[in-house]
Structure formats: C-alpha cells, structure tokens
Amino acid sequence: MCEDVAGDTGFGVPSLLENWRQLSTYHEDMEIKLVRLDVGPDDNLIATVRSATTMSEKALRHGFPHLFENGQWTRLGARLLGQRIVMNGAVSFVWDAEKDRVSSIQYSVDMLTPMMQLFDNLEDVACVFGRAHVTPESRLVTA
C-alpha cells in the first residue's frame, strides 16, 4: 500500500486506521463478509461485501444525533434503535502500476435499501438521513 494511499476520509495509512477505529467504536458488533472478488478496470480489485450491524445507542447518537431530542428518542430513533441492518457494498482497491502498490481504497455501502425496508416510506428515510452525520452510502459527513 502506498504511504499516501487515498481513502474516503483522507490520505495515508493513519487516516485509514482512524476511519476503521471510528467504525469499530460506533459499531461494536459490525460484521463484514466478503461475498466476491472481481478484477475491474485497469486491473483494480473490486471486493463485493455484505456488512451487518446493530443500531446501538452509541451508533445512533454518533450517526443520527437529530433522532434524540429533549432527552429521548424521536419516533424514528426509537424505531431504529436495536435494529440489525444488513447492507451490501463494494470496496475498490486501485492499483498503482508504477509503485506496484495499492494507491486508493474507496468504499460504497448501501444503507438506503435496509432503511427503506425498515421504515417502508421515503419520507421517514429522508428525515433519518436529513441531518445525519452519515450518508446513505455509509460515508461519514465531515463538518
């Protein structure tokens, strides 16, 4: 891996490690399973993954703090709390042929589909993600 490897949250190995530290802090029971490996354009490696996590109080307070108001969970927060969600996604490992190393790791995980299954309407899902600190692609929103 290149020293200045590009990730979704910055550059360098320390940035990648910090991203994984945050993920494991807020999702203590996160499971990530490899579904398939494919060779993509320019010999890049594409890992199809399935991840699952329980929406704990810690995860909700970090990712969806607007669902906690006046010392209690909103209707949507209460519905989400304790739910186990399963998400499909992909991780792309971009290969730098000159350096003979991975130069970029990019991920996209579909959080929208399980939220639609849970809430069963777009209006509630829009409210859940409206002021969230995480996107429907499971990326952290930085201020």
Domain 6-130 is of which CATH architecture? Answer: Roll (3.10)
Question: Which residues are paired to 73 by β-bridges?
Answer: 68
pLDDT tens sequence across 16-35: 777 777 776 677 788 999 99
Nearest to 77 by CA among 86, 68, 88, 89: 68
Amino acid found at 70: N
Give the per-residue pLDDT at 130: 92
Lookup: tokens for 82: 């304790």
Whether pTM exceeds 0.85: no
Domain extents in the chain: 6-130
pLDDT tens sequence across 76-115: 999 999 999 999 999 988 888 888 888 888 888 999 999 9
More confident call, 139 vs 76 = 76
Amino acid found at 28: E
Lookup: tokens for 73: 């969970």
